[in-house]
Amino acid sequence: MARKEDSKADKQARLILDQLNTKTVGPPLSTTGLTGDQAPDTIFDVDDFRKIRNQINLQLSNVEALNLLNMIGQITNMQAEGA
């Protein structure tokens, strides 16, 4: 599993997280008033997932980045969407 210290030490994982540091995991609750056309542009979407997924080679040196990608896919419910 990806852990903070492991991800900080892994260059590829840091590059991925740096690209996503302004994204939110999902749309806000309707009680915030930021729904539909008013939703912020910072919501993580399938194009964001594809962008980071396509930057990682399947090799041992990228195992931490792959763990991070798996975790992001689980949190955002986009693992199947990235195909």
- Answer whether residue 83 shows pLDDT above 60: no
Q: What is the model's pLDDT at position 5? A: 76
Q: What is the mean pLDDT of residues 26-46?
A: 75
Q: How much is the pLDDT for 81?
A: 59
User: What is the arithmetic mean of pLDDT over 63-70?
Assistant: 90
- Higher-confidence residue of 27 and 67: namely 67
pLDDT digits (tens, 9 = 90+) for 19-31: 888 888 887 777 8
Query: What are the Cα distances from residue 57, in Å, to 12, 38, 54, 80?
Result: 10, 36, 8, 18
Domain locations along the chain: 4-24+32-76
- Whether 50 has a pLDDT exceeding 60, the answer reads yes
